[in-house]
């Protein structure tokens, strides 16, 4: 056996071991929540909890249809089954390699490379998806505030949080459109950011003055801008992707509410909407897999502020998180593991992500 073949086989084995370990770390991180959840199972309606499965299936259906619509606008027709599978893999990647979605964006591009999807096109679809999810959630936030107001629970704190989130969503979306919509602005913005990043890297790697090639970055974002202009000229076709984004958000909220119903608690839907929004925004910056710790704490805190006692909101939040993870992550891991065996590019990217994770 050649040295190259031996190293290839060793990397394959090592990667398989590390991905299993990553999954075990995720389970270990929520071990206390797992114990608490199983203790609480005795007092909940298990039949209602089973509704989480079709709700999660519908959530991934909505995401897949959104992907299909966006790629179709860019001239690419991709099978539903392929995109559904990649969406599940993506969920696992974002759980195990939390990086505000950056790891997922890289993985998404590599997994669809064989469908003639460029990295910039895959990145754009992910960015547009996030923008649609944010804009559609604006609708839910307004509805949530109205639900709270009806029961006279829209206190100053709730109004402040809702208005802050709304402002951040609108400003962020507007800034994204302004930057990506202009070739000059997108090049100026990302060239500046690349130079700053190169200076930081140069501090630690003095022999590499241009660790990230500015020319390559400019070419990538020229392509990103070109694809964005294609979508911009067909903006009316964003109607259905927006509807699917709204459906994806609704199913996430519904999943949480199903757990409340299983506990026989009919809480204000507006409080759940607001808590979900806050927890997910905070989870983007978490270094823990799946935002463990930050997510539960913030969601519980917001629910308490909205009038739902911690004795109710904490076990429900924990159970939702644990059961949701158990439903989504294992299938994603199985598919991710299979992708590593099928695609050398995917394996190479996974190796880089694992190395980055170890360095962190």
Distance CA 91, CA 325 (A): 10
Q: How far is CA 76 from CA 39, 114, 162, 241, 318, in A?
A: 48, 12, 38, 15, 40
pTM, two decimal places: 0.73
What's residue 20's pLDDT? 55
DSSP 162-209: HHHHHHHHHHHHHHHHHHHT-HHHHHHHHHHHHHHHHHHHHHH-TT-T
Distance CA 182, CA 222 (A): 10
CB 268 within 8 A of CB 151: yes
What's residue 69's pLDDT? 93
Distance CA 301, CA 274 (A): 11
User: Cβ neighbours of residue 206 under 8 Å, at least 6 residues apart?
Assistant: none
User: Cβ neighbours of residue 236 under 8 Å, at least 6 residues apart?
Assistant: none
Closest CA to 220 of 263, 253, 177, 190: 190
CB 225 within 8 A of CB 186: yes
- In which residue are the tokens 């790697």 written? 205
Residue 234 per-residue DSSP state: T
CB 181 within 8 A of CB 228: yes
Sign of the dihedral through C-alpha 327, 330, 332, 334: negative
What's residue 215's pLDDT? 59
- In which residue are the tokens 């249809």 written? 65
- Average pLDDT of each block of 10 consecutive residues along the chain (360 residues)? 46 53 60 63 80 94 94 89 91 69 68 77 84 86 84 76 77 78 74 67 54 58 73 85 94 92 86 82 55 67 77 79 86 85 64 49
CB 343 within 8 A of CB 87: no
CB 275 within 8 A of CB 302: yes
Burial zone of 232 (CB within 10 Å; 0-12 exposed, 13-18 middle, 19+ buried)? middle
Distance CA 101, CA 349 (A): 15
Distance CA 29, CA 203 (A): 34
Distance CA 96, CA 22 (A): 6
CB 124 within 8 A of CB 231: yes
Burial zone of 36 (CB within 10 Å; 0-12 exposed, 13-18 middle, 19+ buried)? middle
CB 284 within 8 A of CB 100: yes
Residues composing the chain: 360
For residue 205, count other CB atoms closer than 10 A to its CB. Answer: 11
What's residue 321's pLDDT? 83
């Amino acid at each position: 056996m050649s040295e190259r073949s031996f190293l290839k086989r060793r990397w394959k084995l090592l990667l398989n071991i590390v991905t299993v370990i990553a999954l075990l770390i995720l389970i270990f991180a929520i071990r206390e929540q797992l114990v608490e959840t199983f203790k609480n199972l005795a007092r909940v309606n298990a039949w209602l909890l089973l509704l989480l499965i079709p709700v999660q299936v519908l959530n991934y259906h909505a995401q897949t249809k959104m992907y299909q619509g966006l790629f179709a606008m860019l001239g690419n027709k991709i099978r539903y089954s392929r995109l559904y599978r990649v969406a599940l893999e993506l969920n696992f990647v974002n759980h195990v390699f939390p990086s505000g979605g950056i790891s997922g964006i890289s993985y998404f591009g590599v997994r669809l490379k064989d469908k003639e999807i460029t990295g910039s096109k895959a990145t754009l679809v992910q960015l547009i998806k996030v923008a649609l999810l944010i804009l559609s959630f604006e609708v839910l936030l307004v509805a949530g505030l109205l639900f709270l107001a009806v029961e006279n629970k829209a206190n100053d704190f709730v109004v402040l949080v809702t208005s802050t989130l709304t402002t951040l969503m609108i400003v962020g979306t507007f800034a994204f459109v302004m930057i990506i919509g202009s070739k000059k602005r997108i090049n100026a913005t990302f060239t500046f950011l690349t130079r700053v990043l190169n200076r930081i890297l140069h501090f630690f790697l003095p022999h590499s003055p241009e660790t990230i090639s500015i020319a390559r970055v400019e070419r990538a974002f020229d392509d990103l801008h070109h694809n964005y202009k294609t979508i911009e000229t067909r903006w009316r076709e964003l109607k259905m992707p927006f509807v699917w984004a709204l459906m994806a958000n609704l199913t996430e909220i519904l999943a949480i509410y199903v757990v409340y119903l299983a506990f026989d608690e009919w809480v204000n839907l507006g409080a759940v909407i607001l808590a979900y929004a806050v927890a997910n925004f905070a989870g983007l910056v978490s270094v823990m897999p799946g935002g463990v710790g930050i997510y539960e704490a913030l969601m519980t805190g917001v629910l308490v502020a909205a009038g739902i006692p911690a004795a109710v909101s904490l076990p429900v939040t924990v159970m939702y998180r644990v059961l949701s993870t158990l439903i989504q992550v294992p299938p994603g891991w199985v598919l991710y593991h299979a992708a590593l065996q099928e695609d050398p590019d995917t394996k190479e990217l996974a190796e880089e992500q694992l190395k980055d994770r170890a360095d962190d």
